Structure 1
Amino acid sequence: KGVDRDPVRKREDWDEVSDSFGMVRIRVSVGRKEASKREFSDWLKAEAKLPDIAIGDILQEDHSAIIEIHVEKAGATLEILKRREWEGSSLKPELLDRPAVAFNRASMLA
């Protein structure tokens, strides 16, 4: 019987998805209808054992949120989010591409 898994460990290259501050964006299915930013960030710190500084902005919509996690903690946090539930429901974590960078102010205002 052959090997079912790839014997070469996958190296995660976070440069492709992190911003200039080293933050990675992850979408989760917990929005403002399910929890406040504070409730979710406190839960995330406890579950993923994150220091305050590892959590950036939390951008909430009604039933989802985009959380910023520092690149050093992103892989472990993503794995924890895949295994945990929020009030009995999957968090459905999704790694997002980094936002496009505007190279000059005029392009930001266009």
Structure 2
Amino acid sequence: YEAQNTLNRQFEQAAANQVWVTDTTEIAYNIRKYKVRLHVVLDLYGQYPLIWIITPTETSTGTIKVFQMAKQKAGGLAPLIHTDRGAAYTSKAFNHYLASNNGQHSYSA
């Protein structure tokens, strides 16, 4: 799945829940180097984390779940969702979720 960079570095927003950005970070812990993934959804208006979860892997399932939680907390999905071009964000499942919730997807350059 491909999308344009609609956000185009317009990181300052005038209202809450208009643009959400997201990323997933791998966290290693313990001496055995166990790994988990931290998924965060950030509202650009206040530039604060709206919601986050930890999952065992980076998949579209975890990505969709964090957006479902953010949607429930905010009372709806932001109209513009900006992500990088990672596999979870370019997946058909994630993009179908956004489209079915009237979310427009923007990819970083």
- The TM-score normalised by the length of structure 1 is 0.29
Relative to its length, the structure with more helix (as a share) is 1
What TM-score do the two structures reach when normalised by structure 2? Answer: 0.29
Larger strand proportion of the pair: 2
